[in-house]
């Protein structure tokens, strides 16, 4: 296997930026089901929504038959965006995904010169409806190849696929732990089917936790409606104001040098509709994506840490603000109990990152591999304590 480069009342809708492509005149068979999922997350963190039809957008999806290169007509006027896009652009691909009942499109990034590609799980599973979809990949030069699904991870919404090719340009990974708020970024992907689209912005926030619909394939895909319990995942993301729209899912968020800092995964829209970018987009950090992709490439699946504690937001009845993750119960013989964490403790830091809520803690724990050793800081009776915790394996919950 080839190695790859490592260098008040407002309501927001968290939507997977992955789009249904234009379809030919349907044959007279069972109706097609749209593949764009929307998870609505209000300030109260309630998750609602469901699989919706592909005609929900008021604009038509445009099928770009061939990706366009970064056009430079005047080399004296080239800026950093052109440079970053030129460096990373050949490593970003467009995906077309189809099953017998639905279809969609998205983006991906090349991991290796021989055709391993990283994308979102919700793209290749059509929002959790199937794990047997036909996937086609359009490369930067316009060539189209069939792809094989190597494996997907519904816990962090990532997947790896493979095309048979040689001499491709893999993306170069950057260390997402070294990022700064305000740093310039470029998003590259295929919004609304427009391959090789480049948008510019900054990092708006780091270590943001959001909840999105799980892409886990179920036995009854037609009944997938998100009620908020057991139907969503909490993930830690980079927030950006670079325009991200349906079709950008699985694409690249890169720095000024064209190095990958995140995999675009979700957008927020104001209100209950499916409007496009309002400048609030999210990407899975490159370090998390790198670790999970490597495990999928090696074994077909990824591992995730397990703390072994039941937690809730640390807040009172008069405030919606949370100041940590309150430990209600620890699992006997679990990782937390073995390290000395007790019921009544309030987790305020995990692996060097601040914990403000139970969702924060869940997302941070799952971002770590099974067996990882991390430092956990808690408040106990007004005293700040630190524990070394060897995480369990989330697979043990199944």
Residue 230 near residue 256, CB atoms below 8 Å: no
Residue 346 near residue 326, CB atoms below 8 Å: yes
Q: What values do phi and psi take at 322, rounded to 5?
A: -115, 140
For residues 391 and 243, give the distance between their C-alpha atoms in angstroms, rounded to a whole number.
Answer: 37
Q: Which of 54, 102, 122, 234 is catalytic?
A: 122
Q: Which of 157, 241, 345, 360 is catalytic?
A: 157
For residues 394 and 163, give the distance between their C-alpha atoms in angstroms, rounded to a whole number.
Answer: 30
Q: Is 122 a catalytic residue?
A: yes
Q: Is 107 a catalytic residue?
A: no
Residue 374 near residue 325, CB atoms below 8 Å: no
Burial (CB count within 10 angstroms: exposed 0-12, middle 13-18, buried 19+), residue 67? buried
For residues 60 and 83, give the distance between their C-alpha atoms in angstroms, rounded to a whole number.
Answer: 31
CA distance readout (Å), 396 to 91, 159, 248, 303: 36, 21, 33, 11
Q: Which of 54, 195, 204, 249 is catalytic?
A: 249
Q: Is 157 a catalytic residue?
A: yes
What residues are annotated to the active site?
122, 157, 249
């Amino acid at each position: 296997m080839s190695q790859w480069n490592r260098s008040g009342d407002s309501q927001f809708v968290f939507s997977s930026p992955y789009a249904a492509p234009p379809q030919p005149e349907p044959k007279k068979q069972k109706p097609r089901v749209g593949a764009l999922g929307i998870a609505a997350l209000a300030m109260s963190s309630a998750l609602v929504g469901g699989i919706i039809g592909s005609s929900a957008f008021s604009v038509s999806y445009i099928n770009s038959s061939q990706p366009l290169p970064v056009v430079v007509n005047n080399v004296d006027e080239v800026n950093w965006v052109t440079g970053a896009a030129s460096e990373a652009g050949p490593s970003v691909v467009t995906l077309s995904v189809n099953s017998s009942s639905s279809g969609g499109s998205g983006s991906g990034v090349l991991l290796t010169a021989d055709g391993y590609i990283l994308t979102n799980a919700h793209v290749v599973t059509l929002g959790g409806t199937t794990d047997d979809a036909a996937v086609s990949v359009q490369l930067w030069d316009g060539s189209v190849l069939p792809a094989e699904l190597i494996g997907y991870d519904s816990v962090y919404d990532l997947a790896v696929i493979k095309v048979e090719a040689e001499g491709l340009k893999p993306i170069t990974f950057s260390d997402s732990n070294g990022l700064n708020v305000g740093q310039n970024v470029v998003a590259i992907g295929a919004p609304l089917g427009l391959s090789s689209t480049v948008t510019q912005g900054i990092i708006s926030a780091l270590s943001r936790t959001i909840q999105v619909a799980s892409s886990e394939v179920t036995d009854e895909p037609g009944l997938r409606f998100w009620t908020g319990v057991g139907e969503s995942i909490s993930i830690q993301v980079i927030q950006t104001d670079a325009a991200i729209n349906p079709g950008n899912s699985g694409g690249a968020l890169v720095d000024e040098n064209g190095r990958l800092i995140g995999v675009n995964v979700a957008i927020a829209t104001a209100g209950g509709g499916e409007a496009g970018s309002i400048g609030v987009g999210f990407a899975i950090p490159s370090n998390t994506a790198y670790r999970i992709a490597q495990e999928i490439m090696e074994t077909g699946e990824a591992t995730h840490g397990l703390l072994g504690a039941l937690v809730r937001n640390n807040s009172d009845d008069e405030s919606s603000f949370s100041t940590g993750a309150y430990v209600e119960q620890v699992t006997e013989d679990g990782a937390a109990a073995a390290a000395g964490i007790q019921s009544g403790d309030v987790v305020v830091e995990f692996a060097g990152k601040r914990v403000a809520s139970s969702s924060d803690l869940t997302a941070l724990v799952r971002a770590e591999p099974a067996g990882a050793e991390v430092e956990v800081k808690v408040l106990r009776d007004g005293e700040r304590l630190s524990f070394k915790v060897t995480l369990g394996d989330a697979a043990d919950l199944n």
